[in-house]
Amino acid sequence: MNKFGVVLVGHGSKEPYNKSAIEYFAKKIRKKYPLVRYSFVQINEPPLQTVLEEMAESGVDRVIVQPVFLTRGVHVDQDIPKILGLPKGSKTGTLIFGKKRIAVVLSEPIGEDDRIADILSDRIAEALRD
């Protein structure tokens, strides 16, 4: 087979905007990658573990886990790798759900990117117009 899925992982928040933003990104990314789900590390549903189980049930061979975090931190460096069962410092591993084994790849957070700087510049320009 060689079917893969993408799981976006957000922080989670009591504020509804947090979840709606992650849902928005998932919807947009589905235009390029058909099997995209979203999850959260805390507070919001669904949790990452649940979505990984659903991915395994869907028949994927590989899951790309994409943190929707601007920078590295405890969730990206410790919590998410722990949920994925990754050894310290590793970005790849194998998850086992019953008899199903799937490869997992942990992507980098957004990080330093000129496209983000462009968005920030746009927001500053908008604020200046207000």
Catalytic residues, which ones?
Answer: 11
d(CA 54, CA 41): 16
- Would you state the structure tokens that stand for residue 28, as one six-digit string? 């947009």
Q: Which residues contact 34 (CB under 8 A, 6 or more apart)?
A: none
From 20, 29, 113, 88, select the one nearest 64 (Cα to Cα). 29
How many whole angstroms separate alpha carbon 19 and alpha carbon 11?
Answer: 9
Q: Where are the alpha helices (DSSP H) in the chain?
A: 16-29, 48-58, 74, 80-84, 114-129
